[in-house]
Amino acid sequence: MFPERLRALRRGQKITLRELANELNKNLGPNEKPNSVSQIGNWERGIRTPSYVEVRKLAEFFDVSMDYLSGKSDHNDYDLGKLFFSSRDLSFNHTVLTTEDRYEIFQLIDGYLKGKDNRRSTTNVDSLQEELNLKFKD
């Protein structure tokens, strides 16, 4: 499953093996060896299996979970709560969210979800629902 998913992700982004190797080699740790084109090609053909560190780097590059990449999960679901507390930069409408923004938004979502069932049982949600404008800034 891993070779097929890696190949599909790479081809889906229309990048070559060389481009992927260059991207993976940008932030090498002190004891990490650079990735080669042939090495990644061997992963895609199922000839070799990457290390945990390499799978993590691939998952981060393609913005997927390691479970999805390895075939353990058929869905590439993200837990939004974990994303808010990750070290990954987050933005909304081209505005970078600060740590405080992330925490406040997390609290808003958490409160909304905790109170959702109670609100639905006491009010007619359809009559109170406003139309949400999902046109984002370019």
Percentage above 90 pLDDT, the chain:
30
pLDDT at 78: 65
Average pLDDT of the segment spanning 23-34: 86
pLDDT of 107 above 70: yes
What's the predicted TM-score (pTM) here? 0.55
| Per-residue pLDDT at 117 exceeds 60 | yes
DSSP per residue over 79-127, as a string? -HHHHHTSSS--EETTEEPPHHHHHHHHHHHHHHHHHHHHHHHHS-HHH
Q: How confident is residue 120, by pLDDT bands cut at 50, 70 and 90?
A: low
